[in-house]
């Protein structure tokens, strides 16, 4: 056979054209396959039942967050009001602490009552000198103007049956 006889006449230019055609066709085939998969996935996602489930899930999360937020706001409001009340109150704990720390150990505190502007207390002891020390201490608090703006000794009593002396005072708080 003769190499020069060629019935198909394929030259290098047409060979390059076929290669380009194959590349373009494979590319379009790959793109169409990819687009088909994307559309299939989107059709599965856009299923109404799936969207409804997602929607109810999101709504429940939002409601839960709103409930938490409203509870936190309620608690914050209550704490703010409690803080305002505590700021406006007198320091009764400090007053009582000062009074009770100044009482001798041999003297028993029978009763203490506190209201907005008054403190009343009753003390008792076996020793009259201890009752005198208590009255001197309380009068000293009045003289120093630490707690009391006015103090009244209501009674000093002796219980002859038990031999106990009792002191009752009441005082107005600054």
Q: Which superfamily is assigned to 92-173 in CATH?
A: General secretion pathway protein M, EpsM (3.30.1360.100)
Q: List the chain pLDDT tens, one digit each, 174 residues.
A: 555 655 555 555 567 778 888 999 999 999 999 999 998 888 777 667 777 788 889 898 888 888 888 899 899 999 999 999 888 877 778 888 888 888 988 999 999 998 888 999 999 999 999 999 999 999 998 898 888 889 999 999 999 999 999 999 999 887
Query: CB–CB of 139/155 below 8 Å?
Result: no
Q: Where are the domains positioned within the chain?
A: 31-86, 92-173
DSSP result, 54-77? HHHHHHHHHHHHHHHHHHHHHHHH
Give dist(CA 51, CA 156) in Å, integer.
85
Are 139 and 151 spatial neighbours (Cβ–Cβ below 8 Å)? yes
Task: Give the pTM.
Answer: 0.50
- Is the Cβ–Cβ distance between 107 and 134 less than 8 Å? yes
Alpha carbons 108 and 104: distance in angstroms, whole number? 8
């Amino acid at each position: 056979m003769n190499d020069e006889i060629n019935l198909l006449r394929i030259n290098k230019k047409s060979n390059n054209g076929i290669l380009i055609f194959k590349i373009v066709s494979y590319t379009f085939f790959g793109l169409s396959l990819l687009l088909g998969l994307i559309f299939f996935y989107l059709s599965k996602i856009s299923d109404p039942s799936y969207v409804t489930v997602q929607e109810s899930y999101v709504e429940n999360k939002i409601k839960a967050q709103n409930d938490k937020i409203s509870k936190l706001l309620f608690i914050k409001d209550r704490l703010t009001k409690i803080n305002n009340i505590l700021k406006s109150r007198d320091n009764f704990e400090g007053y009582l602490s000062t009074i009770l720390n100044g009482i001798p150990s041999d003297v028993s505190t029978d009763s203490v009552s506190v209201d907005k502007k008054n403190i009343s207390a009753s003390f008792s002891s076996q020793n009259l000198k201890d009752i005198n020390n208590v009255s001197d201490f309380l009068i000293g608090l009045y003289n120093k103007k630490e707690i009391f703006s006015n103090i009244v000794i209501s009674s000093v009593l002796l219980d002859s049956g038990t031999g106990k002396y009792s002191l009752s005072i009441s005082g107005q708080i600054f």
